[in-house]
Amino acid sequence: MAQKPRAWQRMLSGRRLDLLDPTPVDIEIEDIAHGLAFVARWNGQTQGDFAYSVAEHSLLVETIFARIAPNAPVKWRLAALLHDAPEYVIGDMISPVKAAVGPGYGALDERLEAAVHIRFGLPAKVPAAVKKQIKRADRVSAWMEAVQIAGFSEAEADKFFGRPDPALREGLHIRLRPPVEVRADFTARHAALLKEMP
C-alpha cells in the first residue's frame, strides 16, 4: 500500500503545520516573521545586496493601506500586514506561475490565510471592500518595487500594476535589509497592532 505524501511542515517553533488542514493553534507569529523575512519577492531577481523579502513588502503594504483607509479599524491594518502570511510556508510565486499552477494554489492560500486570521483575532475572510483596499496597497507596493529594484520602466510598471497616486507613495522607498532586521520589525509591528486592537 502506497504511503500518503507528507503534507505538513515542522516550524522552528516546534509546531507541525498541516498545509492541507491548517489549524490556528499551529500558527505562531515568530514562524511567520521568520519565513517571510527569508522569502524573496520577484523570485530574487532584484537589485541590491539583499533580497527584497515578503516581510518587508508586507510592512510597506500596511503603511500604504493606512494612507488609503486612514480611518480603518486597527484589525484591517493587521489584515494588511498579514495579507501574504501564507507565503511563510508556500513561498511567493510570481503571478504568471500562480496562473499556470491553477486553482489549487489559491485554495491552499485561502485555507492558510483563514487559519492565520483566526489565530490573531481576525475574521477568517476579510470583507470584500477591505480586501480591495489591501489589494490596491499591494499594487502600489508592486509598482514601487518594479520601478526601484526589479528593472521595470515606469511605463511597464504602469501597464502591469497601474500608475499609483503619488500621494500614496510620497516619502516611501523600497528598503533592502538583512532578514534578521526585517524579521524583528515585522514581529514588532504585529505586536503593536495587536496591542491597539479592542
pLDDT in tens, 95-141: 777 778 778 888 899 999 999 999 999 999 999 999 999 999 999 99
Tell me if 45 sits within 8 A of 83, measured CB to CB: no
> Cell triple for residue 59?
510592512
pTM check: above 0.85: yes
The Cα-based distances of 115 to 5, 17, 125 in angstroms read 22, 11, 10
pLDDT in tens, 50-107: 999 999 999 999 999 999 999 999 999 999 999 999 999 998 887 777 778 778 888 8
CA-to-CA distance for 68 and 136, rounded, in angstroms?
A: 8
Residues 6+ apart with CB under 8 A from 154: 147, 163
CA-to-CA distance for 34 and 78, rounded, in angstroms?
A: 17
